[in-house]
């Protein structure tokens, strides 16, 4: 095995190493030649910006490359390889990225959405979380749902060993639920919608966020990029803010844009947007979120508590200091984009 492993690794590495050489080349005017964005199919403002080509319009001399990712873990890998500049990842993968051994040089620049009613714990028969003692609960491991599930169990006074937690991807959760193999699941839409038809919602991520166990989809920007092109980053932030404001002012247009990106009819897209909590630039400067450069927001504490959870799960060797996460928030860029 060893014989084969090393050349294969070496090959993979030389490929990624080649990839990392092709960072964005500087242009005279201070605008980058290219911005490489990693996006995910989540019904938030990012898809509106993409659909409306606002970034392309605002930065006419910059090539915008959009690459779709399926998970925050993949976004982390792409960041390590230096193949994207701005990416979307859940709070759990971002926590891992900011901690050792990954120590990815990136910062959280924006909260795309706070996970709300689009992720929830559904049970077949139980009426309270405590009823789940001894039951089998499925969730996709390493996801925000996994984190929320364990937080919910803890909140109800159950230890992880009191239940059987099974690692299943959403489509498999639906199959296992239909067959009756699992008693409960913490999962996101659209599978959540199917489970809700025959089950009872015990807790949603929105309720957990109110208890301080916040999960969110975050924008991470490569520190190198943020330092070299603060103006481009500001432009990017302004477009995201504009998308959130469009959702508030013209719901139909926003739903139509998101629907086009997700292949959903506008009514369904609109419903899915409503399940998320979207925050505009000013709100994100608040103490609950990114905060200000002088007073980093509570998001840093959320990330640190996610690190404690990962450490307890044996997925992180050590819990970093709070300051690591405070420095990981690009509050200054956000403040510059939305002064006053």
Partner 1 sequence: MLLLLAIWWAVAAAHIWPEVFVPAPGAVWEQLWLTSSVHEGRRGYSGYLLHEHLLVSLGRIGLGSLYGVIGGIAAGLLIGLVPTVRTLLGPLVTFVRTLPPLAYFSLLIIWFGIDEPPKIWLLFIAAMPPVAVATAEAVRGVHEDYLNAARSLGARRWQLPYRIVLPSALPEVITGIRVAVGVAYTTVVAAETVNGVPGIGGMIRDAQRYNQTDVVILGLLVIGASGLLIDTFLQFIERLLVPWRGRA
x/- contact string, 248-287, with partner 1 (CB under 8 A)?
----------------------------------------
- Does 176 engage in binding with partner 1 (CB under 8 A)? yes
Stretch that binds partner 1, among 32-40, 42-50, 174-182, 297-305 (CB under 8 A): 174-182
CB of 314 to partner 1, least distance (A): 5
The C-alpha atoms of residue 76 and residue 112 are separated, in whole angstroms, by 17
101 vs 339, beta carbon nearer partner 1? 101
- State yes or no: residue 162 binds partner 1 (CB under 8 A): no
18: contact with partner 1 by CB under 8 A = no
Which x/- pattern, by CB under 8 A, does the window 41-80 give for partner 1?
--------------------------------x--xx--x
C-beta of 179: minimal distance to partner 1 in Å? 6
**Does 124 help bind partner 1 (rule: CB under 8 A)?**
no
Report, in Å, the least distance between residue 76 CB and partner 1.
6
Q: Which is nearer to partner 1, 249 or 314 (CB)?
A: 314
- Taking residues 138 to 157 in sequence order and writing x for each that binds partner 1 by CB under 8 A, - otherwise, the string is x--xx---------------
Instruction: Give the shortest CB-161-to-partner 1 separation in angstroms.
Output: 9
Nearest to 107 by CA among 289, 327, 335, 259: 327
Chain positions 314 to 333 lying near partner 1, rule: CB under 8 A, are 314-316
Member of 150, 151, 168, 306 binding partner 1 (CB under 8 A): 168
Scanning 13-21, 251-259, 265-273, 290-298 for contacts with partner 1 by CB under 8 A, the matching segment is: 13-21
Residue 94 burial (C-beta neighbours within 10 Å; 0-12, 13-18, 19+) = buried
Site string (93-112) toward partner 1, x via CB under 8 A:
---x----xx----------
* 3-class DSSP state of 140: coil
Stretch that binds partner 1, among 10-18, 188-196, 223-231, 326-334 (CB under 8 A): 10-18
- Supply the minimum distance, in Å, between the C-beta of residue 75 and partner 1: 11
221 — phi, psi (to 5°)?
A: -125, 135
Classify the C-alpha dihedral 296-298-299-303 as positive or negative: positive
φ, ψ for residue 122 (rounded to 5)?
A: -115, 135
Instruction: Give the nearer residue to partner 1 in terms of CB position, either 77 or 145.
Output: 77
- What is the C-alpha separation between 93 and 111, in angstroms, rounded? 14
Q: Which is nearer to partner 1, 43 or 82 (CB)?
A: 82
Options 5-13, 244-252, 297-305, 320-328: segment touching partner 1 (CB under 8 A): 5-13
Helix or strand (DSSP H, E) at 138 = strand 136-139
Q: Report helix, strand or coil for 131.
A: helix
Residues that bind partner 1 (CB under 8 A): 1-3, 5-6, 9-10, 12-13, 16-17, 73, 76-77, 80, 96, 101-102, 138, 141-142, 166-169, 171-172, 175-176, 179, 181-182, 310, 314-316
């Amino acid at each position: 095995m060893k014989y084969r492993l090393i050349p294969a690794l070496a090959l993979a590495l030389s490929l990624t190493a080649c990839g990392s050489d092709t960072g964005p080349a500087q242009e005279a005017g201070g605008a980058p030649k290219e911005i490489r964005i990693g996006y995910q199919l989540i019904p938030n403002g990012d898809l509106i910006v993409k659909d409306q080509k606002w970034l392309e319009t605002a930065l006419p001399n910059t090539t915008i490359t959009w690459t779709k990712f399926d998970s925050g873990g993949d976004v982390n890998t792409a960041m390590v390889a230096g193949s994207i500049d701005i990416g979307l990842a859940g709070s759990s993968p971002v926590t891992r990225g900011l901690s050792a051994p990954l120590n990815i040089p990136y910062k959280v620049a924006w909260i795309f959405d706070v996970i709300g009613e689009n992720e929830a714990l559904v049970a077949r028969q139980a009426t309270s979380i405590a009823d789940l003692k001894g039951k089998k609960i499925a969730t996709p491991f390493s996801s925000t749902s996994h984190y929320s599930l364990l937080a919910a169990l803890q909140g109800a006074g159950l230890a992880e060993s009191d239940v059987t937690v099974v690692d299943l991807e959403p489509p498999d959760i639906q199959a296992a639920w239909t067959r009756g193999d699992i008693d409960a699941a913490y999962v996101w839409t659209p599978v959540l919608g199917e489970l809700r038809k025959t089950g009872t919602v015990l807790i949603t991520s929105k309720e957990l966020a109110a208890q301080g166990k916040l999960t969110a989809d975050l924008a991470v920007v490569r520190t190198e990029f943020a330092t070299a092109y603060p103006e481009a980053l500001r432009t990017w932030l302004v477009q995201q803010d504009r998308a959130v404001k469009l959702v508030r002012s013209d719901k139909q247009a926003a739903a139509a844009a998101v629907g086009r990106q997700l292949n959903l009819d506008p009514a369904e897209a609109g419903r899915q947007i409503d399940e998320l909590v979207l925050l505009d630039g000013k709100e994100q400067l608040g103490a609950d979120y990114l905060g200000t450069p002088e007073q980093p927001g509570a998001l840093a504490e959320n990330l640190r508590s996610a690190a404690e959870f990962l450490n307890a799960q044996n997925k992180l060797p050590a819990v970093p200091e709070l300051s690591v996460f405070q420095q990981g928030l690009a509050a200054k860029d956000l403040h510059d984009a939305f002064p006053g």
